[in-house]
Structure 1
Amino acid sequence: MKRGFLILPLGLAVFLFLAQAAISASGPDWGRLNPAQKDAAFVGDRSVCANCHPQYVESYAETRHGKVFPHRGGNDCESCHGPAGKHVEVPSREHIFSFKDRSIRPEKKNGVCLSCHEKGIRMHWKGSSHDVANLTCNSCHYVMERRSPKNLFVNEDSKKACFQCHKERRAQLQRSSHMPLREGLMDCATCHNPHGGPGPSLLKTASVNETFYQCHAEKRGPLLWEHPPVRENCANCHDPHGSNHESLLKMRAPFLCQSCHTGAGHPSNIYDGSKIVGGAGSVDQRLLGKACFNCHTQVHGSNHPSGPRFQR
């Protein structure tokens, strides 16, 4: 093997290592984030921090940060809290970057985390609804203790972290028809990216339908006969967070269908509450069972040449 073929990959590896070292060494601008830490020296010794904060030593050592940071040049605790030289001399919160300090703006706290975690699923964070709402990374994550199997959530799983704010979604998941979050087969992050996304409502894809198609690919089409509201938005008919009607429908048929379809051109009448069991009038058999779906079985669209009415 020629020497040149060895030198090139070796040189590239050295370059990448030095580039990463330069990024790690530069770190956040602590003087800008917390003026009280300007010109403060790095202590570089976890044991100095442990003298006053022994309650965090064992729990932090079991986290991913606690296992990795000691091998990143010795700063460890100071990787997130900044140079502790002044804080050691004068033990006050003013001389250290504290994530519990409410006087520090959220974007500064997030800036510390984003100095390492700026790529991947976090690339859409700036300008996202959570960013605009002044949430901080530690609103959902807790780095000093391993409370969840992964991702250092403040609770034992991501759902409970979301439910701290989205309590109405927790209630919807208790309905009879629901996504399998309660069963542990998926979580909020299956559809949403809490760090921001290209679509509405922090969706991971550009639209509601594209998100649904990740699981329901058979509904994507293209189809010979398209059902316009289905093609427009699956959420026109379904409530993905939970419903007391089958298949996550917002209303049961025929009332859901009559949100768009009038009785014109159809051999039946508009159905209302008087025609159901317990209503003021006599029960109409067309309201029983699956109602409109008894005949119109292919409401998501049809590829059958004789399927313009979605009956086959």
Structure 2
Amino acid sequence: MSAWKGSGLMTETEAPISIQDLRKSYRNGFTAVDGLSLDVRKGSFTGLLGPNGAGKSTTLKIASGLVPPTSGRVLLNGFDVASEHRKALKDVGTVIETPEYYAYLTPRETFSYIGGVIGMRRESVAAQTDALLEEVKMSEWEDKRIGTFSKGMRQRISIALALLNDPNVIILDEPTSGLDPRGMAEMREILKNIRNGKPGLTVLMSSHMMHEVTDLCDRIAMVNRGRLLVHDDKEKVIGGSGDEHRLSIRLAGGASPEALEAVRSEVCIESAEVSGTAIEAVMRGNDDSAADLIAALVARGCAPAPCPRMRMLSRTGTSR
């Protein structure tokens, strides 16, 4: 079986997103993406996981046609993004960086405008608008000006717009970045509903948070310094990413929602919850990973208590 896309032919087994030996270097000598190759399986929700500066956003900007590669290419539905831009992005929705909209327009007006730009029929836009605003929980604000919205609300509008033309691929660059803990939880719930409600949709989402990709994704591609480290089913990647440890972290400012999110934001953290006055976390890695975690918390203003008592227990319960 084959599926026609414009003048191209894509087989059922071909990856809807194919990143091939991608490189991006700048005049100052910095290389953001260094020979990255990745095929994203059809119908998968794949997490592009790595620390800040790993090359995730640059890769997704190239895949979205916003930045040209130095070499290599990205194919979307069988078309080269650089040389066949329109065909490649025809059935693709993207959310890259902080969304910007006309502040004086409402969500409904914005959807009508964007739908017209991309050539959708007015009736289709109206029907999709109602369904998508309901899906991202923005129906009650459909006639309010976007200029009054919080970042989280604008991000929800972006997710809905990415789905407006019923794409078979969506690309999301850290969709929970900059949101407060409640906003992050709401966005993840929306993404779960989209994943469960659209089984044929292929999603590539970047994140620097281990617990986020393990919660949302079925496949994980780990990157660092612009290179692919591993790409496999979630269970295999988690199982091979180092020893599992349980941490009890007490912070000088207490176990606030901000402190909890600071812990969760580190790539080595698989899960974290508040327990009394401490944060109980599951980490994958070694002692160096634990040291890096504490250093990162201090840098974010979440300092450990003056005389912290931290326990590290292996899976067998042995103290370390």
Tell me the TM-score range normalised by the shorter chain: under 0.3
The structure carrying a bigger helix percent of its residues is: 1
The structure carrying a bigger strand percent of its residues is: 2
| Bigger relative contact order (CA 8 A; separation at least 6) | 2
TM-score if structure 2 supplies the norm length?
A: 0.21
Structure 1 or 2, whichever has the larger Rg, is: 1
